[in-house]
Copies of this chain bind each other. A is one copy, B any other.
Amino acid sequence: MGKNVTGVGRPRASGAAASSQNAREAVLEAAGELFTGAGYAATTTRAIAERAGLRQASLYYHFPSKEDILAALLAATVRPSLEVAGGLSGGDAPAAVRLWALAYADIRLLGGARYNLGALYLLPEIASPNLAPFRAEREQLKAVYRDLVAESGAHPDSVAVRSNLVFGLVESIAIIRRDDPVLDVEAHAVEGADGVLRVAGLPAPDATLRAAARALLPRS
């Protein structure tokens, strides 16, 4: 394929705007589009560089391999939620309120990101050594959910299964988005966080709990 075959796309980084940071961002933007569109395996670093308007050498300067680009994209799907979780852990809000806040923020992140990067979680490449840091961060996030489910009063025998289902419900927004690309993200985040509390075995949340949970989150 030649350059710019499709004729679609945004203005490319160029001139003064083509700083190192911008080049990195352009690579991530192009890769997010291609990985979730054409697919990870079908996308070459050459295609990413072309789409980003960069020479391949510039791409390799920032990302030595295609897996490094995948790792950076996937980090952006868990790191903000880990930061939310860190902010919630200091306060004295009830576990149910913190669980609602985390699930709401996490579904909004996964559901509202420009590209549906959660759809990449099931790639075989996730098992690669290069992806170990992402796997570790995702495990950390899952552990926070597990602790909140346990603290919410779930029976110890059911904590493991229920926290698997809670985490699965949150991440299933990737499948839901695939089916319906013009999703009402806010409605799914609210109903999804309600559902997380119910799956954890907690009483159905009310408007007071939701307002208390939203108040714990940074303004977005």
Contact = CB atoms under 8 A, between A and B. Distances in A.
A188 interface: yes
Given A121-B175, A122-B122, A165 B195 contact: yes
B191 A169 contact: no
Which residue, of A42, A126, A168, A199, has the highest number of chain B Cβ atoms within 10 A?
A168
Contact of A175 (B168, B178, B192, B199): B168
Contacts of A187: 161
B161 A184 contact: yes
B188 A169 contact: no
A23 B165 CA distance: 37
A175 B165 contact: no
A40 B124 CA distance: 9
15 contacts: A38-B124, A39-B41, A41-B41, A119-B122, A122-B174, A122-B178, A126-B178, A164-B176, A168-B169, A168-B175, A169-B195, A171-B172, A172-B175, A195-B199, A198-B199
